[in-house]
Amino acid sequence: MLEKILILLCLSSALAEQPCKPDASDGYKVRLSIKTALGDEAYVWNENEMFLFRATLAFAMRSHLNGQEFDVSNIIVCDETPRVTFWFVVTSPLNTSGLVDKGVVEEAIRMSRNRINSAFLLTDKTLEFIGITPTLTAPVNPDTPPWLIVFGVVMGAVGAGIIVVLVSPLVLKKRKKNEETDEDEEETGVKAVENGSTREGVYNMSFSDDERLTQM
């Protein structure tokens, strides 16, 4: 009887010390793809990096839940693989045996996602929290779509071209007409002067009435 109680106590204490396990109800799986993201400049994943992760996550929890002081010890990690995936759970600082709710953890991570990513020089795609979809950046909507601007430029050029092509023969015709009328005016002006000068005339003697010489 006593042995059974002892075994039960040992088991329960053992279980209590292991809140983190794969497929934990309040835990998340994290997957890092460091070599994909950084290639030759990839850092090796070791204990120190894991410490940084736990610290960053504690920071995220602190930022989200303003009053509570989360510490590195509140983030429990397990089931690490060579792929660099692991599970983590978050214990509450007020009650070390109680886990923080999944939803709260998700919100905290969403809020500080950028900070967490940049701590590891990774992106949403290479630092994945399985189950937390990243919020995508809103599309940039400029006031005038850029294609309309280029269209306007080309349309303006073509319109100007057509107007030039249609109007230029008319302009040429007008210019020709003006030149012709100018020439006419010059000619008539000269004639007028000539006429003016012939008003005086030269007296033609052969048609004068010479009574002294011929009398019929």
Partner 1 sequence: MDKGARPNWDNPMQFVLACVSYAVGLGNVWRFPYLCQLHGGGGFLIPYLIMLFLEGVPLFYLELAIGQKMSLGSIGAWTAISPYLGGVGLASVVTSLYLCLYYNIINAWSFWYLFHSFQSVLPWADCPINSNRTGPIEECERATPTQYFFYRETLDISSSIEVNGGIHTGQALCLVLAWLITYLFIVRGVKSTGKVVYFTATFPYVVLFIYLIRGMTLHGAINGVKYMFTPKMEQLANPTTWINAATQIFFSLGLGFGSLIAFASYNQYNNNFERQAIIVSLINSGTSIFASIVTFAIYGFKATVNYENCLERTRLLLLNAFSLAEDSITMDTVFDWIEKLNTTYPQQFAEIADKLENCDLESELDTAVEGTGLAFIVYSEAIMNMPLSQLWSVLYFIMLLLLGMGSMLGNVTAIVTPLRDFKITSRMSNELLNGLVCLFCLLLGLGFTTPSGNYWFTMFNDYGATFSLLFIVLIEVITVSYIYGIKRFEKDIEDMLGHRPNWYWKIMWSVTSPVLLIALFIFYIINYIKGGTPTYQAWNKELPCMPMPSHCLHHVS
User: How far is the C-alpha of 64 from the C-alpha of 117, rounded, in Å?
Assistant: 17
**Number of residues this chain uses to bind partner 1 (CB under 8 A):** 29
Length of the chain: 216
Residue closer to partner 1, measured from CB, 10 or 171: 171
Residue closer to partner 1, measured from CB, 135 or 214: 135
Q: How far is the CB of 24 from partner 1 (least distance, A)?
A: 17
What string of DSSP letters covers 20-74?
--TT-TT-EEEEE-HHHHHGGGPPPP-HHHHHHHHHHHHHHHHHHSSS----GGG
List the one residue from 8, 11, 15, 155 that touches partner 1 (CB under 8 A).
155
Cross-sheet strand order for the sheet of 127-130? 75-78, 85-90, 28-32, 127-130
List the one residue from 162, 171, 192, 193 that touches partner 1 (CB under 8 A).
162
Q: How far is the CB of 114 from partner 1 (least distance, A)?
A: 15
Residue closer to partner 1, measured from CB, 8 or 149: 149
Determine if residue 144 is left, alpha or beta; phi over 0 gives left, psi from -120 to 50 gives alpha, anything else beta.
Answer: beta
Q: Taking CB under 8 A as the rule, does residue 2 contact partner 1? A: no
Interface of this chain with partner 1, residues 101 to 140, rule: CB under 8 A? 133, 135-136, 138-139
Annotate 29-52 with b (16+ C-beta within 10 A) or e (fewer).
Answer: bbebbbeebeeeeeeebeeebbee
Q: Which residue has the tokens 């709260």?
A: 104
Q: Give me the 79-98 binding string for partner 1, x by CB under 8 A, dash otherwise.
A: --xxxxx-------------
DSSP 3-state percent helix, strand, coil across the chain (nearest 5):
55, 10, 35
Q: Taking CB under 8 A as the rule, does residue 201 contact partner 1? A: no
Residue closer to partner 1, measured from CB, 94 or 136: 136
User: How far is the C-alpha of 116 from the C-alpha of 122, rounded, in Å?
Assistant: 9
Q: How far is the CB of 34 from partner 1 (least distance, A)?
A: 7
> Which region, judged by CB under 8 A, interacts with partner 1, from 50-58, 110-118, 143-151, 199-207?
143-151
List of residues contacting partner 1 (CB under 8 A): 31, 33-36, 81-85, 133, 135-136, 138-139, 146-151, 154-155, 158-159, 161-162, 165-166
